Chain A
Amino acid sequence: MSQLNRLARGGRIDRSRKLSFTFNGKRYQGHAGDTLASALLANGVDIVNRSFKYSRPRGIVAAGAEEPNAVVQLGKTEAGQVPNVRATQQALFDGLEARSTNGWPNVQRDMMSLVGKLGGKFMPPGFYYKTFMAPASMWMTYEKYIRKSAGLGRSPMESDPDIYDHLHQHCDVLVVGAGPAGLAAALAAARSGARVILVDEQEEMGGSLLDTRELLDDKPADQWVAEALKELAGLDNVTLLPRTTANGYHDHHFVTLHERRTEHLAETAPLKDGRRQVRSRMHRVRAGRVVLATGAHERPLVYANNDVPGNLLAGAVSTYVRRYGVVPGKRLVLSTSNDHAYRAALDWLESGHEVVAIADARANPDGELVEQARARGIRILPGSAVIEAKGENRVSGARVAKVDLDGFRVAGAAETLDCDTIASSGGYSPVIHLASHTGGRPTWRDDIFGFVPTLVKGVSAAGGAQGIYATGEVLADGVEAGRQAATEAGFSAASVSLPEVAVRRDGAAVGLFQVPHEKPTLRAPKQFVDLQNDVTAAGIEVATREGFESIEHVKRYTAMGFGTDQGKLGNINGMAIAARLLGRSIPEVGTTVFRPNYTPVTFGAIVGRHCRELFDPERYTAMHQWHVEHGAEFEDVGQWKRPWYFPRKVNGKTETMHEAVARECLAVREAVGILDASTLGKIDIQGPDAREFLGRVYTNKWAKLAPGRVRYGLMCKDDGMVFDDGTTSCLGENHFLMTTTSGGAATVLEWLELWHQTEWPELDVYFTSVTDHWATMTVTGPEARKLMAELTDIDLDKDAFKFMDWREGSVAGVPARVFRISFTGELAYEINVQANYALHVWEKLFAHGEKYGLTPYGTETMHVLRAEKGFIIAGQDTDGSVTPEDLGMQWAVGYDKPFSWIGQRALTRPDTARTDRKQLVGLKPRDAKVVLEEGAQIVFDPNHAIPMPMVGHVTSSYYSPTLDSGFALAVVKGGQQKMGETVYLPMADGQVHEAEIVSPIFLDPKGERQNV
């Protein structure tokens, strides 16, 4: 198919480079420099989509980010699918494949359009809320149906082959937008020496200067653009980011930029120098000052059938003609409220096509451009507007009539003009989205019929973004903004000489939003306000009639400005309509707030490199490789990868977890096992007040712990609730080594620092994390002493090295500290060596341990063994609502310590002192085969009517191979006084388990095994 709308000359495309692409399965050709939108228009493709709600045919309206209709699904391959791409922002590349987002079976012949035609009556605003409200249980079904027919684009079902990343940027001045204001601002800031980032969302920088009719220094404007960019590119302190959208403006000038690095080249990033390259990149910019030079979006007029393909923005017509060498039709009617839009007619005319007429809403248009049009013989209809477009799949005519703006009525007979294109302009809306993200409510200005941004400190707007539109003024405003930003950032102002731009005399514009029709709005053909969300003027009228008066409510009721569109074209028109209906001014109905992101961002760019094996850090101990080589299954404990259990192959069959854990448990109880305990937090505490400090943060006493001894301690918050526990060893009179839970290491260190720095700075003590310095291995079981004796010079005699002692010496030739503490209830030695030696020591233990049956065990076995002994895990058996007394650990509470330690006072508060609090107990299932579910709720009376009063829950539950029975720890209301009583655990499947409340210590209650 030939490019029937392509001009022979002109535009910034490269006619020597032909690119082929397909749209909805049909093959077309375009040129390098095209966007997908300009190429589609060049090929005469009118319908690019079906509308969201009414399924009406839709064509391209705009030429930039504000395009509401040409939102396509990109991708040839499944993995390469990208939804929600604006065809106006997608550079054409050879082999590009795109499809319409909506439309089934295709956009030309759509099944849903029938619904749409009827839908005028059947799909009023609030349709979804009203129609699909009941029954609530059906909502999921409705939603699926709505989404399928509405077609919001689809995500790929295969893994993305591309790579993405983030770049942390810092600059003195960030300039958003590289049109005349942005370029001037960047030049001014850059010449002062500031670090400048200039970002622009388009393929080429230059903005409106790339298609303006105006001359700069009597030369085409793009020459000045090229010179400016050349200078900026040559400066070390400037970073130029084309194809990059500033999508979100966050606190304290943190701006996220989305750079599309290879999207203009191919569907998946091509290799560069044989290496993968990043497809898109998120720049996370912390800027000192920000200049928003984001320009303005033209506002379409709201007239009947203004959505039929062939209705375009006036400025978009100019852009397609001048920048892309495409005339999207043959016969143009322009409907305008201002002078500036006349350039569309002049550009159209100069491309050799017919301008049928210009309907100008003003009674006496008389600006320079108007005079030029008149001089070229274009028919100008003053005081008039297009009130209705004719045609179904393409504009076939425009009904034009005199309009009475004040009376909001058609003031004369309508004339139907034969045309295939209607361009409209209702003026310009400054692009205030980014400023809006910072929380500033925009201010309405009657002189420009638009909102200008309210700016927080450190941000300025320049040019169109604050309602300055004349090119010469825009350039000057940009220089001023750039200079001011650089000065505020601490640089001295540099001079920028501006090019000469002829001053154009423009006539005053009028405020025109919705165009009146002969019929009342509710009966006239649809007049669209928000094309992407299918919101009409009638819809807004219905909303106001139903009592929605705030524009925020109207928005939510009608869906105006929702989704990826964010109200770029429609919001102001919608507000103006609501204001007229409510008899208020536009600022009185409110302003509207735009949210990030300005345009859609792919998940790839958001995620960056934080995916797959780099999704989250995996922390390894020094013995990790040994665990991998010995077939360990791993469990995540915080970010640590800890061996969970070590399944063996028995007769070619791999053990189940149950089998492995049973074997590991028995090995520890009957012979000797070894656990990698390196993940425990370790804090080195030094200072003359270390002991006093411990006494304040632990519940128990530390005054008399002698060097060489170890003590278990509980830590509470000041509300009396346990939050961590561990052992602390006295290394010297002023020197302690504290251990914390694996997950609590960083929290506990911060906790100690909090109290030291904010409450007790007078205490002389320092805390330093040594978690990673030491590798820890626990050798435990009746045979542990024999094994240790083969490898250490430490005197292991049971009286020389007692339970809760620590000693230093060497193990396997390596300097080691050995602690006789036990989390299994068995004889145990916890060996600490500098981590670089750890693998050697670990392997030596196995070389000597085989004859004793040394068995590696993981966290699951550790849990079973400790639970058999009633040892708690902070964070599993406690949940921030459990006191030491609830745990039955009064033995670890120093009630008579001189200093009121953290948590002590709270223990006597009425709620904390209740006797019917949930207390830790053991549960013995009546059926020994049952392993209760962790988290299962407990009741006293299973026959109680539902809802049954729940009196506690299971915190830990396992099968014990030693007891050959299931057993559990649980918290039960008043449980410590209910030993021997029966509780019930009703399960989701209808079963009710029975269990007896018992002591939480299931094995060796006197602790004889660990004391040998």
Chain B
Amino acid sequence: MSNVATFDTRTEAKIPVESPLAYSYRRSGAPAPTGKSRVVLRERPFLGHLILRGGAIVLDEAVRQVLGVSLPGEPQGLVHDADGERSIQWLSPDEWLVIVPGGEEFELENRLRAALGDAHFAISNAGGGQTLVELEGEAARELLMKSVIYDVHPSHFPVGKGVTTVFAKTTVILRRPAEDRWELVVRRSFADYTYRWLLDAGEEYGIGVER
């Protein structure tokens, strides 16, 4: 849709960047994982995040063509491409979250727009506004039980599921890409609160932060 202004908010120039957790590391520290850490936290900063809006039927073909995966049409669906680097997640009946390696998002947006042509859809870049935090380890699930109201029991939250839910007094997008790994998509302005909460609640499990 040429009537929409696209804008690459990234630059190739060597500009210092700060992830949403940069301030938190300096302020609250980042305890290194030890052999006794039953849960490990790891930020995956600067990924490309796009919000894709439109009808599932409209979007499905373009997504398959451009991303090589089919759009998860069922609620709470989360799919990854073959090498696990790119994912697309159902957020609502007309909203999906696409996460790709940092730097790919603008080209991806343009290719999707080209593939979608005149259809009614919207794509918004959200990469500066959120970050991905991974939790891994045997205590990850219990740490999440302290934090989110959603049922994270494996029978209710299998691999390949993702939800938006309440985290302490804020919200997160919670995803389970692998048996032993959870992902939290955290809004930038709430990242420090979320980080401090996880460190505090994870103390019992000797939480470590991988940087």
Contact = CB atoms under 8 A, between A and B. Distances in A.
Contact, chains A and B (beta carbon distance below 8 A): yes
Interface in B156-205: 156, 168-170, 187-190, 192-193, 196-197, 200-201, 203-204
Contact of A764 (B120, B151, B203): B120
B8 A815 contact: yes
A707 to B, nearest CB: 7
Nearest to B46: A836
B64 interface: no
Interface string B1-35: 11111011111010111111011001100000000
A53 interface: no
B204 A834 contact: no
A250 B4 CA distance: 49
Interface stretch (B69-77, B78-86, B132-140, B142-150): B142-150
A620 B187 CA distance: 11
Nearest to A775: B128
Where chain A touches its partner, the secondary structure class is mixed
Interface string B29-68: 0000000100000000110000101100000000000000
Contact of B192 (A620, A774, A814): A620
A684 B122 contact: yes
A584 interface: no
A834 B9 contact: yes
B124 interface: yes
A619 B203 contact: no
A609 B197 contact: yes
Interface residues of A, number: 63
State which size class the interface on B falls in: 35 or more
B189 A772 contact: yes
A834 B128 contact: yes
B196 A165 contact: no
A614 B151 contact: no
Interface in A768-793: 768, 770-775
Interface in A598-651: 609-610, 613-614, 616-622, 624-625, 640
B17 A840 contact: yes
B126 A817 contact: no
Contact of B122 (A166, A609, A686, A835): A686
B4 A768 contact: no
A624 B23 contact: yes
Nearest to B148: A168
A732 interface: yes
Interface stretch (A273-281, A394-402, A442-450, A849-857): A273-281
B130 interface: yes
Interface string A662-695: 0000000000000000010000101110000000
A808 B9 CA distance: 10
Interface string A838-852: 111000000000000
A170 B165 CA distance: 15
Contacts of A772: 126, 128-130, 187-189
Nearest to B49: A773
A838 B16 CA distance: 9
A815 B146 contact: no
Nearest to B197: A614
Contacts of A679: 189
A600 to B, nearest CB: 23
Contacts of B203: 275-276
A734 B3 contact: yes
A340 interface: no
Contacts of B36: 273
A593 to B, nearest CB: 28
B122 A766 contact: yes
Contacts of B18: 622, 836, 838-840
Given A686-B122, A766-B122, A836-B19, A617 B129 contact: no
A277 B142 CA distance: 14
Contacts of B153: 170, 195
A168 B129 contact: no
A471 to B, nearest CB: 34
Contacts of A622: 18, 20, 188
Nearest to B23: A625
A833 B188 CA distance: 14
Given A617-B193, A814-B15, A773 B127 contact: yes
B128 A195 contact: no
Contacts of A167: 142, 145-146
A475 to B, nearest CB: 29
A104 B109 CA distance: 77
A813 B189 contact: no
A618 B128 contact: no
A931 interface: no
B196 A613 contact: yes
A619 B22 CA distance: 14
B208 interface: no
A813 B18 CA distance: 15
A28 interface: no
A817 B7 contact: yes
A813 B1 CA distance: 28
B190 A617 contact: yes
Contacts of B123: 686
Nearest to B2: A732
A170 B169 contact: no
A169 B129 CA distance: 31
A286 interface: yes
Nearest to B187: A772
Contacts of B13: 813-814
A801 interface: no
Contacts of B130: 772-773
A616 B190 CA distance: 11
A655 interface: no
A562 interface: no
Contacts of B15: 812-814, 837, 840
B24 to A, nearest CB: 9
Nearest to A840: B16
A731 B45 CA distance: 28
A735 interface: yes
B207 to A, nearest CB: 10
A722 B60 CA distance: 41
Contacts of B22: 625
A849 B16 CA distance: 20
Interface string A698-734: 0000000001000000000000000000000001111
A810 interface: yes
Interface in A727-780: 731-735, 764, 766, 768, 770-775
B3 A733 contact: yes
A817 B121 CA distance: 23
29 contacts: A165-B201, A168-B146, A168-B150, A275-B204, A277-B204, A278-B204, A609-B168, A610-B168, A614-B168, A614-B193, A617-B190, A619-B193, A625-B23, A686-B53, A686-B124, A732-B2, A734-B4, A735-B5, A764-B120, A772-B128, A772-B129, A772-B188, A773-B127, A773-B128, A810-B11, A813-B15, A835-B20, A836-B127, A840-B18
Interface of B: 1-5, 7-11, 13, 15-20, 22-23, 26-27, 36, 45-46, 51, 53-54, 94, 120-130, 142, 145-146, 148-151, 153, 155-156, 168-170, 187-190, 192-193, 196-197, 200-201, 203-204, 206
Given A167-B142, A625-B26, A768-B51, 12 more contacts: A166-B146, A614-B196, A618-B192, A620-B189, A622-B18, A625-B22, A707-B5, A766-B122, A772-B129, A773-B126, A815-B9, A834-B10
Interface of A: 165-170, 195, 273, 275-278, 284, 286, 609-610, 613-614, 616-622, 624-625, 640, 679, 684, 686-688, 707, 731-735, 764, 766, 768, 770-775, 808, 810, 812-815, 817, 833-840
In the complex, the 3 A-B pairs of residues with the closest C-beta atoms, listed nearest first: A772-B129, A773-B129, A834-B128
